[in-house]
Amino acid sequence: MARVPDGLNLDNYWMPFTGNREFRSNPRFIARAEGVHFTDADGRRILDGLSGLWCCGAGHGRPEIADAIARQARELDYAPAFQMGHPLEFEAAARLVAHAPHGFSHAFFCNSGSEAADSALKIALAYHRARGEGARQRLIGRERGYHGVNFGGMSVGGIPGNRKAFGQQVAGVDHLSSTHDLEHNAFSRGEPQWGAHLADELERRIIPLHDAANIAAVIVEPFAGSAGVLLPPRGYLARLREICDRNGILLIFDEVISGFGRLGYAFAAERFGVMPDMITCAKGLTNGAVPMGAVIVREGIYETVVNAAPAESVEFPHGYTYSGHPLAAAAAIAAIGVYEREGLYERARELEPHFEGAVHALRGKPNVIDIRNLGLVAAVELAPRPGAPGVRAKEVFLKCYERNLMVRFTGETIAVSPPLVIERNEIDTLFDILGEVIADVA
């Protein structure tokens, strides 16, 4: 069993999304991180196969980011977020909008991906109301989608385990079907070929049921991350865009995971050549160093909401004490600077073929029923152990950790998405360990 740091009291912390009892029986403590490695409380170096939790694309311990945060903490630790401004939040918004695809104009700041999702949904409702279409209140998500844990995001999300304990959801929500289909798409390299027509369900089932005039927005992840790396079939997102356009429905891409280089571009929207009306992001926005989320809106959305309200009113009564927090703004500016200066998105594109080859080399290992990849994201899906769903993947996760590799498990799937600064030989090490462990766990 790994060491618990001396004298540490484990009695009072209620851990998020964690088996609290299991953790205490087998504690795993991270002490430090640098580059693509963690160091645990025992001094073991552990290869970070998931960029933290999909957030540290530039690698850990970046001095540029740490220095920017430290400088800012000394200069201005906090400024009131409402009715007052500080220069850095405006600068961070300008940098983020410039970093986003052409046609986006404003960024609204919050502190997490969950808050970004709920903020985007509220912007959609306010936007339609400002245009005199206040009946547009229905929100459409997708089965197996994840948009965080707040009530809006949970409701449009489609992971049953995240919803069933909480009963009441936001009303007026419906869900598209998931695009995940092993029968047609198992072992696809890159975007799966089959399934663009699944977008038509919006027009065939959902719009006739609710009436387009009542639908505010469709929110999807360009690829579903938390549910196990479910990739969009080729042409699917473009078709969703067309249907939304024809029906006056806003399209929101939740890019909390797919943003900041995971797919080799600042945002997945660019990679797929499909522009949503809003992009939500978080995680990589500060390289994970300070909590921060954002909603980036297309030209016209801010103007519509703001100009519809009386002069000198608070046009959009929504925001957080820590929206645009000085430390987060400093971290975001520094992180975007690192991504741009070091060309990390191009680097991810260059590494993609090697990464793809390395993960698909695990085909044929015991119980591997699918391997999928795009950008620097990959997943290996395992057959469930009869009578014990999910246990096999969890065992793989725990055994990888014992062998100095951090991956993520979700359901029957192992997800991998290392920092963009990873080297080719480290990619090889990552998949060698994963392959050995999958064989061991059989």
Q: With both helix axes pointing from N to C terminus, report the angle between 424-441 and 344-360 in degrees, rounded to the nearest 10.
A: 30
Using the minimum distance from each CB to ligand PXG, give the nearer residue, 225 or 326.
225
> Which residues are registered as beta bridge partners of 32?
39
Give the HSE-up count for residue 440: Cα atoms under 13 Å, Cβ half-sphere: 14
Q: Which of 39, 92, 21, 87 is nearest to 290 (CA)?
A: 92
Using the minimum distance from each CB to ligand PXG, give the nearer residue, 112 or 287.
112
- In one letter, which amino acid is 349? R
Least distance from ligand PXG to the Cβ atom of residue 24, Å: 20
Least distance from ligand PXG to the Cβ atom of residue 408, Å: 4
Using the minimum distance from each CB to ligand PXG, give the nearer residue, 89 or 255.
255
Locate the DSSP E strands across 322-434: 368-374, 377-382, 405-406, 408-410, 413-416
Least distance from ligand PXG to the Cβ atom of residue 292, Å: 9
Least distance from ligand PXG to the Cβ atom of residue 94, Å: 23
Using the minimum distance from each CB to ligand PXG, give the nearer residue, 207 or 324.
324
CA 74/CA 70 separation, integer angstroms: 6
Least distance from ligand PXG to the Cβ atom of residue 222, Å: 9
> Which residues are registered as beta bridge partners of 107?
296
Site residues for ligand PXG per CB under 6 A: 53-54, 112-114, 117, 146-148, 221, 225-226, 254, 256-257, 282, 408, 410
Query: Could you count the other beta carbons within 10 Å of the beta carbon of residue 78?
Result: 12
Least distance from ligand PXG to the Cβ atom of residue 150, Å: 8
Using the minimum distance from each CB to ligand PXG, give the nearer residue, 212 or 274.
274
CA 125/CA 141 separation, integer angstroms: 15
* Chain residue at closest Cβ approach to ligand PXG: 113
SS3 sequence of 68-114: HHHHHHHHCCCCCCCCCCCHHHHHHHHHHHHHCCCCEEEEEEECCHH
Using the minimum distance from each CB to ligand PXG, give the nearer residue, 153 or 195.
153
